[in-house]
Amino acid sequence: MEQGKTFSALVRGLPAMIRMEETKGLGRTLKKQWGGGWNTLKIVYGIFTGGRGLVANLRDLSKVKVGKIIPNWVLGMWDTFPDREAIVDGDKRYTFREVKERSLRLANGLQSLGVRPKDAVAAMLFNSSEFLETLYATSLIGATMPFVNWHLTGDELLKTVNLRKPVALIFDHDFLSEIMAIKGGLSTAKHLIMVGGNASPPEGIIPFEKLIVDSPNRLPQVDFIMAFNPYTGGTTGIPKSSNLYDSLGYLLSDLTEDPREPFESYLQYNSRALSYFYWFGGEHISDPITGNIRSLIVTPMYHAGTAASWAPCFMLGGTGIIMRKFDAEEFLRLIERERVNWTFVAPTILQRVLALPDGIKRKYYLGSMRALICAAAPCPPQVKRDINRLFMEGGTAGPVFGEYYGSAETAIITVLLPRDYLEKPRRLNSVGKARCGDLGIYLEEEKRWAEPGEVGKVMGRTASTLSLRYPGSEEKLHESLRIIDGREWYDDGLLGYLDEDGFLYLTGRVKEMIISGGVNIYPIEIEEVILRHPDVFDVAVVRLPHPDLGEVPIACVQLHQGKKVGEEEILDFCRKEGLFGYKIPAKVEFLEELPRHIDGKIIKSELEKRFWKEQEPGG
């Protein structure tokens, strides 16, 4: 099979891709979200006839050149629904007509500053309409958009921005002091563009709105790329850049690099990667008034997982309802007020919603919700049950909790749906089955793939991993890629097992596994038990040094506000719930708040530092 996009490879690969359930489901999803066959035909017709015209477009397609054609899809979708709400951001409500005008103006403004295809335009923005406008504008003109974590400051911020060598940096005015502090060290960012702020910006800073107002709303010189460029997660060191614009956008652009996979088989991986729209119910979800997905964007938009919230807006004509910063009651209020039927959350968001007083969390109508998608960190099974109960009591016809496992490198791999755990309730403990890529459990010492029930390393293979490069730090790629039986796999550093139906159960990270006197202890087993205690808000089980056994488990517990529980009560609860012997924590420590990364993951390394001090934990 051929490497790279060729017309002959496309012709050979399309029949198998079209026959896939995922491709058919995506087709039905597009038809549903675009309001039926007539609108779909209009958008598809516009793809072939828009822009430079039918003849030029067909000539490009014969060479599998699509960079000038794909903008017709985006613009055609906006033109088909000009009065549909595109973005709700606080008091701002933009239709697709308004988003189109603002995005075109911004695209022209960026080009007037010298931004060219394959350049990077970094963004350090809160959740906002400006984030989506920047994503749309950069995509149209072929520039990538590195999503900068707005918690970074100083040298860490400088290195993160410089890693991608952006020619421009767009930032919120709240970060002006941080940007001015690193301005002298920015190696390539010649243009600094500030969103918001009432006062005149310092010399050399371009106001975002002025750039839009001063630029024409005509079609810019288009050369499409899916500008999606998050950084990887992590709690220490400079994050790596994940080139999802190459992988998820490969079929939509002429600017991307070829995957390490023949084009014919890549087509199938790409269809599976995008099929989460279908799996999570896109072919059935339709707001009774606007007829589309109305997605609540609540997690930080710089986080890769948040794409599950904003991608329906970009690709399906969905409405994005944006929360600048999370508030538990406001989350419920917006679901009721804006008829939200789709959202992506981290487990900590659900925990904070459930921790609200009954009088608050049960006063809102939640019946519009259809897809409550959770990822970014392990979600306790009890939280899954309780959030389903809350939403069903709030008006939904059945459970709405869905989940996936993935990362900034892999994108989505597994998907867990309500029908899965309604069929077999035990599956609620899993993160679903491989629906958007390939998955396997590998036993490193025995050099073989695991049988159902055997714990080993979780290996993934997706459209994203086949193009993964870590731009700016390519030398780190070898740390995670493995060749097994002649195929490339991505090692995410996780442990888990598959059941007989292919559902994945995560048992922890390799580096977090506790080896006590030669016995492997998986912290998640202990954490799931302690989380059943009604007074426990959250828990992290980490390693505690021991003179004979090397290390033993210690449970770091955060209680619900106002609750008081002692160590012995927690240990007794563990025993009553079935833990025994070495799985009983050697100690319980209570903290007011567990240290968390912005995506909700508990920073276990910070906890372990408290106990090891002069010693170095294993793993």
Sign, CA dihedral 141-217-319-303, equals positive
Name residue 481's beta-bridge partners: 490
What integer is the mean pLDDT of 326-333? 97
Main-chain dihedrals φ then ψ at residue 585, nearest 5 degrees: -55, 140
Strand order in the sheet with 121-124: 121-124, 168-172, 191-195, 205-207
What integer is the mean pLDDT of 510-535? 89
Domain 519-612, CATH homologous superfamily name and number: ANL, C-terminal domain (3.30.300.30)
Quickly state the pLDDT bin for 476 (edges 50, 70, 90): confident
pLDDT of 173-216, one tens digit each? 999 999 999 999 999 999 999 999 877 889 899 999 999 999 99
Contact 511, 455 (CB under 8 A): no
d(C-alpha 241, C-alpha 261), whole Å: 21
Quickly state the pLDDT bin for 479 (edges 50, 70, 90): confident
**Residue 2 confidence (pLDDT) above 80:** no
**Residue 157 confidence (pLDDT) above 70:** yes
d(C-alpha 80, C-alpha 58), whole Å: 22
**Residue 619 confidence (pLDDT) above 70:** no
- pLDDT for residue 511: 84
- pLDDT for residue 615: 60
CATH of 94-257, one of 2.60.200.20, 3.40.50.980, 3.40.50.11900, 1.10.10.10: 3.40.50.980
Owner of token pair 């930032």: 171
Contact 554, 516 (CB under 8 A): no
- What type of residue sits at position 217? N
Query: CB-based contacts of 144: which residues, under 8 Å, 6+ apart?
Result: 118, 119, 120, 121, 138, 164, 225, 227, 229, 245
d(C-alpha 464, C-alpha 269), whole Å: 9
Query: CB-based contacts of 536: which residues, under 8 Å, 6+ apart?
Result: 530, 557, 558, 559, 560, 565, 570
Q: What value does the mean pLDDT of the chain take?
A: 93
Quickly state the pLDDT bin for 237 (edges 50, 70, 90): low
Pairing of strands 168-172, 92-95: unpaired
What integer is the mean pLDDT of 579-601? 88
The CB density around residue 534, as the number of other CB atoms within 10 Å, is 9
d(C-alpha 271, C-alpha 25), whole Å: 10
Strands annotated E in 315-447: 319-322, 342-345, 371-374, 401-407, 411-416, 433-434, 438-443
Do the first three CATH levels of 94-257 and 277-508 match, i.e. the same topology?
yes
**Residue 617 confidence (pLDDT) above 80:** no
The proportion of the chain whose per-residue pLDDT surpasses 90, expressed as a percent, equals 82
Tokens of 148: 């900068």
- pLDDT for residue 316: 96
3-class state of residue 481 by DSSP = strand
What integer is the mean pLDDT of 358-380? 95
Lowest mean pLDDT among 4-18, 266-280, 297-311, 326-340: 4-18
- Outline where 34-185 has alpha helix (H): 37-49, 54-62, 70-80, 96-112, 129-140, 154-163, 176-182
pLDDT of 401-454, one tens digit each? 999 999 999 999 999 999 999 999 999 999 999 999 999 999 998 999 999 999
Contact 61, 248 (CB under 8 A): no
Sign, CA dihedral 421-427-430-432, equals negative
Tokens of 420: 């899965």
Name residue 555's beta-bridge partners: 541, 588
pLDDT of 540-550, one tens digit each? 999 999 888 88
Q: Torsion over CA of 73, 74, 78 and 80, rounded to 10 degrees? A: 10
d(C-alpha 401, C-alpha 354), whole Å: 14
* Burial bucket for residue 217 (CB in 10 Å: 0-12, 13-18, 19+): middle
The CB density around residue 82, as the number of other CB atoms within 10 Å, is 13
Nearest Cα residue to 308 out of 195, 421, 436: 436
Element (H, E) at 418: helix 418-423
Lowest mean pLDDT among 128-137, 221-230, 512-521: 512-521
Nearest Cα residue to 435 out of 507, 342, 503: 503
Contact 404, 375 (CB under 8 A): yes
Contact 331, 369 (CB under 8 A): no
Quickly state the pLDDT bin for 475 (edges 50, 70, 90): confident
- pLDDT for residue 548: 83
Nearest Cα residue to 520 out of 618, 605, 614: 618
- pLDDT for residue 239: 85
Q: Torsion over CA of 179, 184, 187 and 188, rounded to 10 degrees? A: 60
Domain 277-508, CATH homologous superfamily name and number: ANL, N-terminal domain (3.40.50.12780)
In the chain, where are the structural domains located? 94-257, 277-508, 519-612
Query: CB-based contacts of 382: which residues, under 8 Å, 6+ apart?
Result: 528, 531, 532
- What type of residue sits at position 320? G
3-class state of residue 94 by DSSP = strand
3-state DSSP percent of the chain in helix, strand and coil, to 5: 40, 20, 40
